[in-house]
Structure 1
Amino acid sequence: MTVGQDAEPTDEGNPTSVSVATTASTLPRRLVELDTPAPVVELPRLNANLARAATIADAAGLSLRPHTKTHKSVAIARRQLAAGAAGLTVSKLDELAALRAADAPSYLLAYPVVTRAKATRLVDLLQSIPADLQVGVDNPAGAAALSDAAQYAGATIDVLIEIDSGLGRCGVPPAAAADLAAALLRRPGLRLSGVFTHAGHAYRARDGAELSRIAQQEADAVRYAAGQLRAMGVACPVVSVGSTPTFLTPVDRTGITEARPGNYALLDRTQVALGVANLDQCAFSVICTVVSTGPGRAVVDGGSKVFGLDQGAHGVSLLDGYGEDPERGAMLSWLSEEHGVVADPAGRFEVGDRLRFVPNHACATANLAGHLYLVDGETVVDDVPVDAPGGGR
């Protein structure tokens, strides 16, 4: 991921010297021409990550339904579908509305819908999407809101029961799946299609053995819940797991039908710390420029508004610093909003130098970016929007 130090000189009045990608004619064609901070996705690495996931899913007999929260980009979602993904996962209705343009054959909204406003909007979106749509449910109140909206619109909503496989966030315990299923079956307008879980507690794993245990726990939890539903006569065709570190960890997934990793497409320092990726597999990085130097430090033009402040997930800190340039040996030691400070006791870096940082958390960094440059080596191939930036509704 070598980054040139300076762009070649251009004529002062030449409009092609402007490094703002607004149209195809003004898109910089070389990496050194990008103004910074520049969020870049290296296409060879992205393609390799997508192919790796497809191979893992095929070998395990799983459908792949990647979570788009990692990139929130229609362009990247289309690449995932072209690489064999059977559908897409989204977190918020804004993501669903934006990712409709990817034309996936099916979508899963893996987030509780509990208010009338959201249930009504969901039904409106359902009627405008020429694709299958499933919605996660983990409580009777959410089921009631969905049922009322479905009945009012004369629609049927496919729902999946969310299972808590150990994260302790959303979802019911596996043993409680049958009780919630009974409540759902009494609600008109809802069709119970299966169960799903997210083993987010994998991000707390301290070693490979613990990660393997959590990955197996994830599969066991939904497999047990599916058995409970089938015992009461529910077919339960969908038995879904989702987490990049558990997906990339080999375990017994007999009876699991699909996986929903998200971060696998880009990867980041967190996945490296968990042992499921290497830095040279990380497809996403941010090019920054050194804007100031001082005793023992260099300051770049990317701070917390570019990288976020993640040093781990779900309350556990796994990482030192906030981003790493593996080729130049630079670490973002601390951040303010617009500045990133690199420890530089040897005075290696000068004003104008460009550093390329792999972020701690690709999902948060891409969400803050607004757009992504797709690059192949030193060539800028495209500039694509992050189609659903921000927290969303």
Structure 2
Amino acid sequence: MSAASHTPTRVPRRLADLDTPATLVEVPRLAANLRRGVDVADRDGLALRPHAKTHKTVEIARRQLATGAAGLTVSKLDELDALRPAGATSYLLAYPLVSAVKTARLVELVAGTPARILAALDGPAGADALSAAATRAGITLEVLIEIDSGLGRCGVAPNVAADLAQMAASRPGLRIAGVFTHAGHAYSARDTTELARAAQQEVDAVRHAARDIRAAGIACEVVSVGSTPTFLTRADRRGVTETRPGNYALLDRTQVALGVATLDQCALSVLCTVVSTGPGRAVVDAGSKVFGLDRGGHGVSLIDGYGEDPERGATLSWLSEEHGVVSDPAGRFAPGDRLRFVPNHACVAANLTRQLYFVDGDAVLDTVAVAAAGGGR
């Protein structure tokens, strides 16, 4: 039997039973985070459509829906396909599709599920590709115009959204359902003032775009914003209909650095074993292939190191692919010791593993498959 096909004979029941590295989700913290998300959305009068790219699991998606989420957001078609068993009635594919291969696959998924599926659109190429696929299939695709609210990635400026909406509405097989944005530039905020500014910018951008689209005689039902740090920052969200935070479910050191979470709210961690020690250092059995190399959002370094064990006072100073190095000048750690690190970016850590261990304290409750692990298509 190959190593890849080997199935352990012992079912892990306690943390001590787990081989490492093991990516853990603390269930009470997860539940509290999901409840907090619904409470914040309700406070602002918004539907909650969480971004499932954070966890990529059917189980957490089901918990989000059971807690009060109105639908799910996904980034890739693989995620949409893998997470359909969660049973959401509505999905937003928040990623532009421009190729015939992808639009044909989208049409197949739309035809194969009773759920409402909204597709992203941010330019003529996408409109042409989506229209061609919808026309061939004899269906109508609902699209949201993506608005750039400050990140400078995908999306159009608010003041040209109506032009794109008019062009897309003239294409057969397309219906404009609304607008959406992602305030990813919030991850570059250096203080609460900058964060609050980003939170208001995303709202102002979609309100502007929605107003102009409606003035052009096109309905704009959905007005959607999404970013965990802006979601957890107060703003005037009148005129917005839904919010799409993703990381709020698990949280991580980036959200702590931005001031919207604390370490004891972070639900995801990685259990590691010290495998070697040397002068001033301890080495654990997880590196960049487990934690990723993020030091903050979108290329901005906000954080020292790559993971933190708050109970043991240990920080991952640097990573290679299979090794994580902890500064240990006092020689506190010995081979065989276990450390449990909160990663900088929970979304990356979840994506880099095939399974999550649901835990409550020292008890291992369940093993959950990461249904859409990997880069995705």
Q: In structure 2, what is the equivalent of residue 51 of structure 1?
A: 35
Deviations 1:334-369 (A, max 9, x none): 011100000000000011000000000000111001
Taking the TM superposition and a 5 Å limit, the aligned residue runs for 1:240-251 are: 240-251=224-235
Q: In structure 1, what is the equivalent of residue 137 of structure 2?
A: 153
Matched position secondary structure for 1:36: coil
Shift of 1:184: 0.7
Q: In structure 2, what is the equivalent of residue 15 of structure 1?
A: none
The answer to whether the Cα contact below 8 Å between 1:27 and 1:382 also exists between their aligned partners in 2 is no
Deviations 1:21-46 (A, max 9, x none): 99898431111111100100000000
Distance of 1:27 and 1:58 partners within structure 2? 40
Taking the TM superposition and a 5 Å limit, the aligned residue runs for 1:263-342 are: 263-342=247-326
Distance of 1:23 and 1:189 partners within structure 2? 48
The answer to whether the Cα contact below 8 Å between 1:29 and 1:379 also exists between their aligned partners in 2 is yes
Matched position secondary structure for 2:273: strand
Q: Which amino acid aligns with 2:189?
A: A
Counterpart selection for 2:75 from 91, 107, 110: 91
Taking the TM superposition and a 5 Å limit, the aligned residue runs for 1:250-261 are: 250-261=234-245
Distance of 2:261 and 2:142 partners within structure 1? 35
Q: Which amino acid aligns with 1:34?
A: L
How many residue pairs get aligned? The number is: 374
Q: Which amino acid aligns with 1:216?
A: Q
Distance of 2:142 and 2:123 partners within structure 1? 15
Shift of 1:312: 1.1
Deviations 1:54-80 (A, max 9, x none): 000011110000001101001110010
The structure-2 alpha-carbon separation of the partners of 1:153 and 1:205, relative to structure 1 and needing over 3 Å to count, comes to same
Matched position secondary structure for 1:293: strand
Q: In structure 2, what is the equivalent of residue 16 of structure 1?
A: none
Distance of 2:70 and 2:10 partners within structure 1? 35
TM-align CA RMSD: 1.4
Q: In structure 1, what is the equivalent of residue 20 of structure 2?
A: 36
Counterpart selection for 1:383 from 364, 367, 370: 367
The answer to whether the Cα contact below 8 Å between 1:21 and 1:383 also exists between their aligned partners in 2 is no
Q: In structure 2, what is the equivalent of residue 189 of structure 1?
A: 173
Q: In structure 2, what is the equivalent of residue 215 of structure 1?
A: 199
Distance of 2:140 and 2:230 partners within structure 1? 33
The structure-2 alpha-carbon separation of the partners of 1:24 and 1:318, relative to structure 1 and needing over 3 Å to count, comes to same
Shift of 1:390: 1.1
Q: Which amino acid aligns with 2:149?
A: S
Distance of 1:108 and 1:25 partners within structure 2? 40
When normalised by structure 1's length, the TM-score is 0.94
Distance of 1:155 and 1:22 partners within structure 2? 46
When normalised by structure 2's length, the TM-score is 0.98
Q: In structure 1, what is the equivalent of residue 86 of structure 2?
A: 102
The answer to whether the Cα contact below 8 Å between 1:27 and 1:383 also exists between their aligned partners in 2 is no
The answer to whether the Cα contact below 8 Å between 1:202 and 1:245 also exists between their aligned partners in 2 is yes
Q: In structure 2, what is the equivalent of residue 171 of structure 1?
A: 155
The answer to whether the Cα contact below 8 Å between 1:199 and 1:246 also exists between their aligned partners in 2 is yes
Q: In structure 2, what is the equivalent of residue 199 of structure 1?
A: 183
Q: In structure 2, what is the equivalent of residue 80 of structure 1?
A: 64
The structure-2 alpha-carbon separation of the partners of 1:22 and 1:371, relative to structure 1 and needing over 3 Å to count, comes to farther
Taking the TM superposition and a 5 Å limit, the aligned residue runs for 1:103-122 are: 103-122=87-106
Matched position secondary structure for 2:83: helix
Distance of 1:374 and 1:21 partners within structure 2? 23
Give the share of equivalent positions with the same residue, in percent: 72
Instruction: List runs of 5+ in structure 1 lacking aligned partners.
Output: 1-19
Q: In structure 2, what is the equivalent of residue 355 of structure 1?
A: 339
Distance of 2:5 and 2:225 partners within structure 1? 38
Counterpart selection for 1:141 from 108, 122, 125: 125
Q: In structure 2, what is the equivalent of residue 61 of structure 1?
A: 45
